[in-house]
Chain A
C-alpha cells in the first residue's frame, strides 16, 4: 500500500468533526456520564434517609449476644427489640436469632435474617441490603478471628443469611423481586436496542435522501409532508422491530446455550445460577402473558419515539449519512441515561432539575410504563401513558413540520433563518 493513500485516509477520517467527536472525545465523556450517573444513583440510594442515621440496624433475639453486640458497636449500628421499630428508622435490618453466638463458637456459620425496606425497586437498594450484610459479616469475621487468634481471612463464611424484602409495607419473595427488577430491565434493554436501531435508520433514511438528491424530487411530488413523515416512521419502525426480533432470538439462543451447557457449582440440577434465574424468569413471564403485551407496547412506544427523534435529527442537524449515524448514536446513549439512573436509584430522591431532564428522554416513558406495571404502581403507569401520548403527538407534529423543503434541503438552521426573515 502506498503511504500517500494511507495518509489521505487518516486525514480524511481525523478531519471529520463527527468522527473526531465520536471516536476521541465521546468515549471519554461517556465514561464520566454513565459512570457518574450510576455512582450518583448508587450513592443517593445507599445514603440514610435521615441525616446522622446508620444505613442498617440490628434486632437481637438474645439481647446479650456478645458477637452481635460487639459488631453493632464496631459498625455504629443501633440495636432494637423489634423488626417493625428498626425498619421505621433503618432501611436494612439484620435479625440475629437466639443461639447465634453459640453457632459461631462451635465454628458453624451464624444464621441471620436480613430485612430490606425498599422505597423503590432499584438495583442500588437491593445492593444496600447486600452491602449491610457484608459489613456485618466483616465485623463478625474480625471478632471471631481475634477470639481464635487467627487472621480474618482464615474465617471463611461466618454467616448464612435469609433475605426478606419489604416493598409498600408487604413482604415480597425473591422471584417477585426478580420480576419487578427484571421486567423493567428487559423493557429498558429492548427499548435501548430497538430505539437505537430505529433512530439510526430514521436519521439515515433522511440523510440518504439528501445525499442522493432524491429528497427534492420527493418533496415536489403530490404527497403531503405528513404522508412522507408517516411512511418513514412506519418503515423505520418495521426495520427496528425486525432488528429487535433478531436480537431477542440471539439472546434466547444464548440463554439456551447457557442453560444447557454451563454447569454451576451452586445451582441445583447442574444448572448455572444465571441460567436458573433466566429460566425462572422466563417461566414466570410465561405464566403472565399480559406481560408480553405490556413489553410489546413499551417496545412500540420506544420505537415510535426514537424513530421520530431519528427523523428530527436527520432533518435538523445533519446532511450526510456519517453525521446522521454518529449524531444519533450519541443521542441514543444520552437518552438511555435516565433509564440507567432509574434502574439504580429511587426515583423519589432524584433532584427536580434532573427529573425534568429525564422526561426529555424518549426511552424514559416506555421504561416507566413497564416499571409502573411490574411494581403495581398503576398511577405511575397511567400518568406515563397519558404523557407519552402527548409526547408522541408533539414529536409527530414537529417531525412533520420539519419535513418542509427548506429544512430538508438546507438544514434546520437555514429554515429557521428564513422563517424569521419572513
Chain B
C-alpha cells in the first residue's frame, strides 16, 4: 500500500521546552493511524507539523510525497485538519459554516452544493444547522467541525482528539463517522487520542508518544501480544506509566 505520510526524525522546540525529540512514523493509504500519549507528549505539535501549519526545527515530513508547509493550494485540498477543541464562527449558522468551507474547497458550484449536502448528513444536526453556532453545545460544535472536515472528502484527515470532552452518545457518533468515512473512501486518517477504548475501536495502527518520542508502534493486537496485555490501556500504563496517564 502507498505511504501517505512519512515523518522521520522530527524535532521541535518552544523556548526551553523540547516538544519533539526525533519523532518518526508513517501512515499508509486507507489506514487510521492513532497517535496516543499523555498531555504534553507532543501529539498536537506533531499533527500541526503534518498539517503544514508549523515547520519542524529538524527532521523531515512528507505528505503525499510533498513538504506540507510548502504545499500548493491544489494539494492542500487533499487534506483536512480538525484541531483539538476547534471552535466555530459563533455568528455564522451551522449551515453557513458548512457553505463557507465548501466554497473554499469546491471547484464548482455543483461540487460545493454536494459537499454541503454531505456535511449536513454527516453532522446529523438537522434543523439546528439553521441556528447560530455560538449557541451550540460542545458536542454539536464538534460534530459540525468534524462534518466540515470530512465533507470535503480529504485523502488524509488529521483529527486531533476528535472526541475529547464529549459525552458517550456524541463520542460514539463521532467515532462511527470517522471509521465509516475512511472505510468507505479508502482515505487515510491520523487521529490523536487519550481514550484507549476509542483507539481499539477505530485504529489500524497505533504509535505511543511520550516526552516527545515515539515509544512503541504497531497494530492494537501486536501491541497487546508484545506486552502480554489484555487491552491497550494496560499497554499504555506499562509504557507511559500511571503518573503520566
| Contact across chains for B81 and A216 when beta carbons are under 8 A apart | yes
| Contact across chains for B57 and A422 when beta carbons are under 8 A apart | yes
Bound CA span A304–B81, Å:
32
Cβ-neighbour of A213 out of B53, B54, B83, B148 (below 8 A) = B83
How many interface residues does A have (CB within 8 Å)?
A: 21
Q: Does A266 contact B (CB under 8 A)?
A: no
Query: From residue B234, how far is it (CB to closest CB) to chain A in Å?
Result: 33
Chain A residues with CB below 8 A from B14, complex form:
410, 414
Bound CA span A220–B55, Å:
13
Chain B residues with CB below 8 A from A418, complex form:
54-55, 57
| Contact across chains for B86 and A220 when beta carbons are under 8 A apart | no
Query: From residue B144, how far is it (CB to closest CB) to chain A in Å?
Result: 11
Chain B residues with CB below 8 A from A422, complex form:
55, 57
Bound CA span A354–B112, Å:
54
Q: Does B88 contact A (CB under 8 A)?
A: yes
Known contacts A212-B90, A418-B57; A220 and B52 CB within 8 A of each other: yes
**Chain A 190-218 near chain B by CB (<8 Å), digits 1 or 0:** 00000000000000000000011110110
Bound CA span A87–B136, Å:
74
Bound CA span A410–B13, Å:
12
| Contact across chains for A220 and B54 when beta carbons are under 8 A apart | no
Cβ-neighbour of A220 out of B15, B80, B85, B88 (below 8 A) = B80
Q: Which residue on B lies nearest to A212, using beta carbons? A: B87
**Chain B 52-77 near chain A by CB (<8 Å), digits 1 or 0:** 11110100000000000100011011
Known contacts A220-B52, A406-B54; A212 and B89 CB within 8 A of each other: yes
Bound CA span A54–B215, Å:
85
What are 23 residue pairs bridging A and B, where the CB atoms are less than 8 Å apart in the complex? A211-B87, A212-B87, A214-B88, A216-B48, A216-B53, A216-B81, A217-B148, A217-B149, A220-B51, A220-B53, A220-B76, A220-B79, A222-B76, A222-B77, A222-B104, A222-B105, A224-B73, A405-B69, A406-B53, A406-B54, A417-B15, A421-B13, A422-B55
The 7 closest A-B pairs by CB, nearest first: A212-B87, A405-B53, A220-B81, A222-B76, A216-B83, A222-B73, A213-B87
